Structure 1
Amino acid sequence: MNADTLHSLIGHELPLASRGDSAAYSRIVGACQNSVTAIALAMVRDVHASEDIAQEAFLSAWQNIRKLHNPASFLPWLRQITRNLARDHLRGRGRQPREVEDADLAIELAADPGPNAMERLLEAERTQVAAELISALPDESREVLLLYYREGQSSQQVAALLGLSDAAVRKRLSRARGAVREELLERFAVFARASAPSVGFTTMVASALGVLAPPSIATAAVAGSAAGSGLAGKLGLGASSASGGVAGGGLMAMLERLHAPLAGNGEALAHGAQLGLQLGGVVGGIVGGVVGTYATGRVLLRHARDAQERRRVYRLLLVMTALAALVCFGLLAVLAITTGWLAPLTFALLSIGAMTWQLLRWIPREIDPMIERTRRETGYDLRRTRTYRWMLSTEAIVWSSVFLLATIVWVLHHEGRFG
């Protein structure tokens, strides 16, 4: 894959991946796995450790991909993640000297000279040879040479993958050729090609993506459910409805981890399960809102005198619950199809503003006549009770709007949409 094709692939697939498309991210992994493993291998000089580090780098990038808004920044960002993880590995390995590892292996081989121990010994020897080959090269040339032989000896492709100029790559190649013997360079070329990750590497990373889903899936479910429950909860117990939303989203985030094995059983099945889990979180929020709405309905129905007034209360509850569900799914859709903060925050502000205005104008017009009649006939004024203040007062409506907006802003911040 040449440099232009690589940048085109990342530019096309990264927005899809940032919205939770694991198949799109897997295609990015396949295109970048040579460079990421080469960077790690040049630092740690251990093939298996380099692949473990590369997998961790790809998964870390997947979990934080919402924080990246510019596709052109992806490769530098991924390279930095890989180098940081490799440094952490070297620091950890520094606490356990190589001599100790070799001594442990020798003891194991003496105690059990079976095939497994022998295979480990051979593998340790191959690892030692690889480390010696890499160590023989100049520090600045290791990444370049590994990629040069893995990428069909194209200096331009190496330059694109490592963020260097073609001239810089050629200079490092020249210095490496002048610093080591030709015979050693030929051995290194064979080693570089043989140690390149296979298709199985991409498959292993792809199988882990469902377990380590990007925050957008779980937090979008929480945001959508909070929207539905919070707006519905303006007619009910705000605390219970909001907790229903968060509980629904949290439950779906847990179930999402359990559905990870589906990732290997067909892309369509995995995407279908993932969508079902997201919608389940929203439903959890709406159910929480409905519970609060039902509690408020019970209070209002006590003041309804006839069938007509009862129908008015039922209509009010039905309309508000339907509107809450509409806003809930609308917010989830905006989160799913956009990046950045402007679109979801604008949608949330418009929705909250419209709903709050309607609640402050429509609710009094519908229920005040019933409450006032009860006050005149019995002396009982619902508007002076704690129940009314917590459920239907202007203060309750305003504060529930503030709580809802704060929840959505938190979600946007958690996803890194503010940059």
Structure 2
Amino acid sequence: MLMLLAALQSEYGVPDPQQLEGLMAGLAAGDRESLAQLYHRTRAAVYGLALSILGSGHDAEDVTQDTYVTAWEKCHLYRPQGTPMAWLLTITRNLARMKLRDRGRTQDLGEEQWHAIPAQSPSVTPEDRAVLEAALSILSDQERQIVMLHAAAGLKHREIAKLLELPLPTVLSKYRRALSKLKTKLEGDDAP
């Protein structure tokens, strides 16, 4: 399972914080190419977080687009005290929560929404994706968010705790519990 998540991480790539800082400076200067590069380097993590909160591919796409519009409009508010990725994911989380409140409910992920996550790498096959989807479906929403933020977005547990507004020990505990569940699920599926 961890190898599959590592493949997702390599598929999406963990953006270099220094490169993102440069792109944020370009954004503040009004450079549209910096926005395009920021989008290209971070869209999978932004979309993944929105999808894990909303459970709807359509809504996640809307929130992803709104995140970059907001980043463009509010880039002057960014302070390099944290990381650009954490700043973007905080915008994403807030927009997703607002949409969730407006909608008033969550939905299960359909196959088409799962496959809407960018898949540009041949290292993640449709079969791998199906196994990952089945395994992740046994996790709670919060466990799934923590695993995806750590494995796919490359955030550290401390950053996840801040983003999700949870104590660090809770994030660590939920992450370990989620990995244990995933291991049990995958070993059970492989049993004759």
Q: Say whether the fold is shared (TM-score over 0.5).
A: yes
- Counterpart contact for 1:11–1:71, Cα < 8 Å: no
Q: What amino acid is the match of 2:159?
A: G
Shift of 1:146: 2.5
Of 43, 47, 56, the match for 1:37: 47
- Counterpart contact for 1:9–1:28, Cα < 8 Å: no
Q: Secondary structure at the match of 2:90?
A: helix
Q: What amino acid is the match of 1:30?
A: H
CA radius of gyration, larger in? 1
Distance 1:11 1:20, change over 3 A: same
Q: What amino acid is the match of 2:155?
A: V
Distance 1:8 1:178, change over 3 A: same
Of 59, 64, 71, the match for 2:74: 64
Matched, 1:13 2:16: no
- In the other structure, the counterpart of 2:144 is 142
- In the other structure, the counterpart of 1:54 is 64
Count of residues in Structure 1 that have an aligned counterpart in Structure 2: 153
Q: What amino acid is the match of 1:158?
A: L
Of 183, 186, 189, the match for 1:183: 186
Fraction of identical pairs, as percent: 22
> C-alpha distance in 2, partners of 1:46/1:184?
29
Shift of 1:175: 0.9
Distance 1:133 1:48, change over 3 A: farther
Distance 1:140 1:163, change over 3 A: same
1:114-133 aligned at under 5 Å gives the runs 126=112
- In the other structure, the counterpart of 2:155 is 158
Structure 1 residues 269-305: Cα deviation after superposition (integer angstroms, max 9, x where no partner)? xxxxxxxxxxxxxxxxxxxxxxxxxxxxxxxxxxxxx
Per the normalisation by structure 2, the TM-score is 0.60
Q: Secondary structure at the match of 2:16?
A: helix
Structure 1 residues 192-237: Cα deviation after superposition (integer angstroms, max 9, x where no partner)? xxxxxxxxxxxxxxxxxxxxxxxxxxxxxxxxxxxxxxxxxxxxxx
Shift of 1:59: 1.1
Q: Secondary structure at the match of 1:158?
A: coil
- In proportion to residue count, which structure has more helix? 1
Aligned-residue CA RMSD in angstroms?
3.9
Matched, 1:92 2:122: no
Unaligned runs of 5+ in 2: 1-9, 115-129, 162-167
1:304-315 aligned at under 5 Å gives the runs none
Structure 1 residues 79-103: Cα deviation after superposition (integer angstroms, max 9, x where no partner)? 22211211122122228x97xxxxx
Unaligned runs of 5+ in 1: 99-122, 152-156, 187-419
Distance 1:184 1:63, change over 3 A: farther
Distance 1:171 1:6, change over 3 A: farther
Distance 1:127 1:37, change over 3 A: closer
1:385-400 aligned at under 5 Å gives the runs none
Distance 1:71 1:21, change over 3 A: farther
Per the normalisation by structure 1, the TM-score is 0.31
- In the other structure, the counterpart of 1:308 is none
- Counterpart contact for 1:141–1:176, Cα < 8 Å: yes
> C-alpha distance in 2, partners of 1:125/1:140?
20
> C-alpha distance in 1, partners of 2:187/2:101?
29
Shift of 1:23: 0.6
Distance 1:185 1:21, change over 3 A: farther
Distance 1:145 1:164, change over 3 A: closer
- In the other structure, the counterpart of 1:386 is none
Larger relative contact order, structure 1 or 2 (CA cutoff 8 Å, min sep 6): 2
Q: Secondary structure at the match of 1:84?
A: helix
Of 162, 176, 180, the match for 1:174: 176
Q: Secondary structure at the match of 1:163?
A: helix
